[in-house]
Amino acid sequence: MVLKTPRVALVTGGMGGLGEAICIKLAALGYKVVTTHSPGNTKAADWLDAMNKQGYGFRAYPCDVADFDSAAACAQKVAAEVGPIDVLVNNAGITRDMTFKKMDKVNWDAVMKTNLDSCFNMTKQVCDGMTDRGWGRVINISSVNGQKGAFGQTNYSAAKAGMHGFTKALALEVARKGVTVNTISPGYIGTKMVMAIPKDVLDSKIIPQIPMGRLGKPEEVAGLVAYLASDEAAFLTGANIAINGGQHMQ
């Protein structure tokens, strides 16, 4: 449903892959879409220009979501230049895959800070405003591997599982204030990162795990984000919605 009154949606890590699909979907529904990019990303301006030539009207701001002060500065600038943030999609994330035996503190911390601490860093900037206005949506993008674990991903799986613990606790705190907090846990989605996996590995190791026999589409996840951001989803909070083609069921 296209919005009658524009709302501001901030999507972290929205340049490319799943984040880009989320930005495009929300823009098509009438949201004022803002995304973040890593400070020093030399491709950010080109991406923004290409997107806006297609009529999306995105805004983009540098932000290190792993750093609280950077998150605060970004949110303040968005509020001043675009408007109060109504929808926050915590999508930014990284991987540093290796077995636990080989994992060092640097690679543990990098994933925990970017994937989990970022939820606190970004949500802290917008939550009080949402509750004060009596409406808001926080949508955390987790992973099927946060539900079932994955070999070589103790850091990533722990961070993604932690995101949903954060979701449930915060959902309880803000439920009476018109704010919902939910988690989406995608499985293998056909982003550039996944499509870079060698085809023989996809065909022999990954797709056979998926009962639907295919990768998900970024647009399918974006559609779920759009629903959770809508007025129709006002009674849905504290949930972890799996979108994985049947790969993992709870």
> Residues 31, 61, 156, 188: which is the catalytic one?
156
Burial class (CB in 10 A: 0-12, 13-18, 19+), 151: exposed
Residue 156 is among the residues annotated as catalytic for this protein? yes
DSSP E strands, 109-178: 136-141
For 206, other C-beta atoms within 10 Å of its C-beta total: 15
CA distance 30 to 1: 9
Closest CA to 83 of 176, 5, 186, 172: 5
- Six token digits for residue 220: 């399918």
CA distance 244 to 217: 10
The answer to whether 225 touches 24, Cβ cutoff 8 Å, is no
The answer to whether 161 touches 146, Cβ cutoff 8 Å, is yes
Q: Which residues contact 194 (CB under 8 A, 6 or more apart)?
A: 188, 202, 215
Q: Identity (one letter) of the amino acid at 47?
A: W
CA distance 178 to 129: 11
Could you give the residue numbers annotated as active site? 156
